[in-house]
Amino acid sequence: MKNGIVFALFFFVVPCLGIRALQAEDIPSYLKESIVIKKNLGGHEATVTAQEKPFVAVDHQINKDLHGMITEIDGKPFLGTDGSLPRSELVSLNVSFGGKQVHVPKKFLTNCFDPNLGKNYFHVTIGDDLQSVYIFMSASDGAGAYEIIWVVHQNGTFSRLSASQAWLIGKDIHENLDIDTGRRIILQ
């Protein structure tokens, strides 16, 4: 009798209530460690591996304003929170493309906090020129949300473009970060 009740609960009552088993996409991004995505276009294959780790505040220089809000991490503006400590940080982004292994330089990853490595937030595509890989990530959540695109070219050059939540909600300002100086670039 007891087994029949358990069976009825899990297979009839629970689904009717809209409750489902925990899926991989239900796990918060900051608890995942890495993602590997393979793409193929016209016989060209690209494999992208991204890794994150928990944010450890003592490993970073944290600057705060008079109200205690974080304004800079490691001397640079950052993406991923709206003034609180991040939960995780992106630590590596590697691309295997055209027979080459390309490691995206750390300066293209710094200040990218609370990444979302879930399948609904991290996408890869091969460029129409078959010489570049585009990596898209929708990261963080709420007021700290941002979008970022890395472009990795087969010749070893890189580009990065990011937009914060302020831009995403329709403001006229596009905010980006200068990779070398960490300064905000405002384009209107």
> Terminus-to-terminus CA distance in the chain, angstroms?
69
CA 111, chain centre distance (Å): 11
Q: What are phi and psi of 63, to 5 degrees?
A: -110, 135
Predicted local confidence at residue 165, as pLDDT: 55
Q: What is the pLDDT of residues 45-79, one digit of tens each?
A: 999 999 999 999 999 999 999 999 999 999 998 99
Query: Is 17 part of a structural domain of the chain?
Result: no
Q: What is the pLDDT of residues 159-183, one digit of tens each?
A: 888 887 544 444 333 344 444 444 4
Q: What is the pTM of this model?
A: 0.71
Q: How many Cβ atoms are within 10 Å of 117's Cβ, its own excluded?
A: 21
Query: Is 11 part of a structural domain of the chain?
Result: no
Burial of 182 (0-12, 13-18, 19+ CB in 10 A): middle
pLDDT band at 143 (very low <50, low <70, confident <90, very high): confident
Query: Is 46 part of a structural domain of the chain?
Result: yes
What span, in angstroms and rounded, lies between the C-alpha atoms of 161 and 142?
A: 20
What span, in angstroms and rounded, lies between the C-alpha atoms of 73 and 55?
A: 11
Query: Is 2 part of a structural domain of the chain?
Result: no
Query: Is 76 part of a structural domain of the chain?
Result: yes
Domain around 126: 27-187
Query: Is 133 part of a structural domain of the chain?
Result: yes
Order across the sheet with 88-97: list the strands. 34-41, 44-54, 88-97, 100-103
Predicted local confidence at residue 171, as pLDDT: 38
Q: Which of 53, 76, 54 is nearest to 63 (CA)?
A: 76
User: Which stretch of DSSP H or E encloses residue 14?
Assistant: helix 14-16
- Domains of the chain: total: 1
For residue 108, what are its two tokens? 């293209």
For residue 100, what are its two tokens? 């080459």
Query: Is 22 part of a structural domain of the chain?
Result: no
What letter represents residue 5's amino acid? I
Predicted local confidence at residue 110, as pLDDT: 85
Residue with tokens 């070219």: 153
